[in-house]
Amino acid sequence: MMKRYRWQVIIGISLLTLSFLLYILHYAVFRDTHHIFIYLLGDLAFLPIEVLLVVLIVDGMLSARERRETMEKMNMVIGAFFSEMGTSLLQCLHDYGFCPPEIEKDLLVSYEWSEKNFQSAKREVMECTYRLDASLSDLEELKAFLLSKREIMLRLLENPNLLEHETFTDLLWALSHLSEELSYREDLKNLKESDLKHLENDIRRVYTLLIYEWMEYLKHLKNNYPYLFSLEVRVNPFNPTAEVEVS
């Protein structure tokens, strides 16, 4: 521990020694301890104010700036996730018919959406009970897709910036778990009913978190990158009339 802070200790001792020597020089030249103690007491009296300015205000501003930069990096990583696999997975699970019609209408994101619209949609997503029936879906296709993206998920989980983004980390763990569950089953077409229900719960967890993070991502794009938001609106899997071509 001492080695870790060695240079701080050396600098601290050096500064204290320099201050002591300057006070000795002041006394040697002017022979006036009265002014030495006046200025010393004045400096000590200002120290709490200096701590307030530097530690609470300046450090708070720097911390806020650092948090903004960290969030920007996280959003870049999340954007890469949706470009590489998130949007495709959302479309894939949507095609299985997992999303109830009453929720789909709340996910028709448009250019007019406000913060209130996004908050309301996210609340509906988390409170919805998705009627999953894994027997109607192509689990082999889902398994192949997730296994092909395993390296991407591992790289994302290794990213230290994502540790501060709990919900997205939860999504990655849920995806990783579902990928593992599917990889251990050689025959996904003849599963027992209990095993099928287990997989349905895993898929439901992924689907809920995926839609929630997608909404968060769209809100970020609308506030910061309207041209990227425009593309996402035009490929919205919940909008049956969406067209990527600009009309």
Determine the Cα–Cα distance for residues 51 and 54; give it in Å rounded to an integer. Answer: 5
Q: What is the pLDDT of residue 65?
A: 72
pLDDT higher than 70, residue 133: no
> Which among 73, 65, 66 is positioned nearest to 161, based on CA atoms?
73
Q: What is the 3-class SS of 125-168, one letter each residue?
A: HHHCCCCCCHHHCCHHHHHHHHHHCHHHHHHHHCCHHHHHCHHH
**Stronger pLDDT, 207 or 71, i.e. the higher one:** 207
CB-CB neighbours of 204 under 10 Å: 19
Q: What is the pLDDT of residues 191-223, one digit of tens each?
A: 888 888 888 889 888 988 999 999 999 999 998
Provide the token pair at 33.
Answer: 């301890």
In this structure, are residues 177 and 136 in contact, taking their beta carbons and an 8 Å threshold? no
Q: What is the mean pLDDT of residues 101-119?
A: 85
Q: What is the mean pLDDT of residues 93-122?
A: 82
